[in-house]
């Protein structure tokens, strides 16, 4: 299965999308297997959901999204990529997590300011040895995540990497690096 679909392949709107390079790293950190059950919390356009569903071909992905426009984009991308093992749940997490089956992997792309509550609910739904992969765009999200993990070091072991991607852009006869937003990817493994 091809990993790292081109950004241009996705149907886009005004909803933020996890870009190809970050998707590849996030999915590598998630270590998705074909049978995994995955939640994608704050799924946005569904780019991670689509790629996760393609990797977990015998498993299932639950894309949780609170914004109607984003949920419609996820639906459009699900149809565009002919992905059948992806369910879209219109909700503001952590609501409705308790209704889902136990997860092997939980991706968190957006928390709507409810990161602590999401971590608490996700911890109850994550299998032992399961992984949470959190993409932090803001310093506040990074700070809140690290504080939670420090306070719960008996529950998770984690690592974090900050990624800065630049893409070359033509400027006349020259090529110039155009920096993308830095992202901190935190990978948490639930202890037995």
Tell me: the pLDDT tens digits for 47-70?
999 999 999 999 999 999 999 999
For 69-127, the pLDDT digits (tens) are: 999 999 999 999 999 999 999 999 999 999 999 999 999 998 888 999 999 999 999 99
pLDDT score of 3: 84
CA 24 to chain centre: 11
Average pLDDT over residues 38-48: 96
Superfamily of domain 20-164 in CATH is Vaccinia Virus protein VP39 (3.40.50.150)
Provide the pairing of β-strand 166-171 with 174-179: antiparallel
Closest CA to 55 of 79, 17, 80, 29: 29
């Amino acid at each position: 299965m091809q990993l790292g679909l081109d950004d241009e392949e996705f149907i886009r709107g005004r909803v933020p999308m996890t870009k190809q390079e970050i998707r590849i790293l996030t999915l590598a950190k998630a270590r998705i297997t074909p049978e995994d059950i995955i939640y994608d919390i704050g799924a946005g356009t569904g780019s991670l959901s689509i790629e996760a569903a393609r990797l977990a071909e015998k498993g299932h992905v639950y894309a949780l999204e609170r914004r109607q426009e984003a949920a419609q984009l996820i639906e459009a991308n699900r149809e565009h990529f002919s992905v059948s093992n992806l369910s879209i749940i219109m909700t503001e997490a952590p609501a409705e997590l308790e209704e889902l089956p136990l997860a092997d992997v939980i991706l968190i792309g957006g928390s709507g300011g409810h990161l602590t509550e999401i971590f608490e609910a996700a911890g109850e739904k994550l299998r032992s040895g399961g992984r949470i992969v959190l993409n932090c765009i803001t310093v506040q999200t990074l700070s809140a995540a690290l504080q939670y993990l420090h306070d719960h070091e008996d529950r998770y072991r984690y690592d974090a990497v900050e990624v800065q991607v630049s893409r070359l852009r033509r400027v006349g006869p020259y090529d110039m690096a155009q920096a993308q937003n830095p992202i901190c990817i935190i990978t948490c493994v639930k202890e037995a």
